[in-house]
Amino acid sequence: MSVSSDDRLKERAETVRHFNRFYTRQIGVLHEHLLESEFSLTEVRILYELAHRPGLTSADLCRELGLNAGYLSRVISGFEKRGLLEKTRSEADARVAQLQLTDAGRSTFEPLNLASRHEVMTMLGRLSLPEQQQLIDAMRQIETLLGEREPSYILRDPRPGDMGWIVHRHGALYAQEYGWNAEFEALVAEIVAQFVREFDARAEHCWVAEKDGQVVGSVFVVRQDEHTAKLRLLYVEPSARGLGIGKRLVEQCLDFARLAGYRKMVLWTNSVLSEARHIYEKAGFAMVEAQPHHSFGKDLVGEIWAREL
């Protein structure tokens, strides 16, 4: 007997509900109070939002945390009485009260924040470094697929055929956009071949960006030395630019490098690659060296960028 699309959807819904119950247990959400403190989980969530996003209103918190207005009003009043929170009038609209933590509120929240981070680090510590990265990648994919960003894309591990495609697209795109010759494609092929032959999952990784079933970008992290990771071959297809994919790919590299125990990350680029340089600068990299060179059929200025981790 064939299975209807409605039946398949019901099965998938049950899988999602099962995962929700599992993850709820993992993060301890079923505890009456968080981290053995006097605050409930919801109260800590409110403190977290106020600590990281000054100027929020009660309406903002209700909308973003899905809270009942009456319940939130009671929590806010309680925080005010205890000196954890204060209200100020919005400069844009005097009728609107903005919420912000007091010094006492921040002092109260900080140990809760550190304890929560420690619990998550303990959970992650039970996994190997590749498993940690796999978990983070899966979480980001869930966030991307269920979030409000449109159009959506995912970051995933490479599959058979991806490496050849990455080499091909680098060669084609850099020829179209910068007039570089086949020497650059040969360099990319050498870098990719070395990555595949000498791959060390504990110290190296590649991410592929996929949108609508098509590869639209990629990036690599490779080992330069014991303490230094190197970011290589960042690219995003012209059709997918403006979606934040380049930024996300660089963030993945930084997260992985920290988990792998690196202290520093470096990269090599060229002065004509203005869009990539902007991404690197926004991610905290700074140029530490520049050197003219003639490569790929062009007179270029090569640059080394670096940042501490």
CATH superfamily of 131-308: Gcn5-related N-acetyltransferase (GNAT) (3.40.630.30)
Q: How many residues does the chain have?
A: 309
Closest CA to 100 of 60, 62, 50, 65: 50
| Spatial CB neighbours of 80, under 8 Å, sequence gap ≥ 6 | 86, 87
Closest CA to 234 of 224, 249, 248: 249
User: Is the C-alpha dihedral spanning 43, 48, 51, 53 positive or negative?
Assistant: negative
Reading the chain (309 residues) residue by residue, the pLDDT tens digits are 455 678 788 888 888 888 888 887 776 654 544 556 678 778 888 888 888 876 788 888 888 788 888 888 898 999 999 999 888 876 656 677 788 889 998 998 888 888 777 778 888 888 888 888 888 878 877 877 777 655 578 888 899 999 999 999 999 999 999 999 999 999 999 999 999 999 998 899 999 999 878 899 999 999 999 999 999 999 999 988 888 999 999 999 999 999 889 999 999 999 999 999 999 999 999 999 999 999 999 999 999 999 999
At the topology level of CATH, where does 31-125 sit?
Arc Repressor Mutant, subunit A (1.10.10)
Q: Can you give the residue ranges of every domain in the chain?
A: 31-125, 131-308
| Spatial CB neighbours of 309, under 8 Å, sequence gap ≥ 6 | 229, 254, 257, 258, 262, 263, 264, 265
Write out the E strands in 51-204: 85-89, 97-101, 154-156
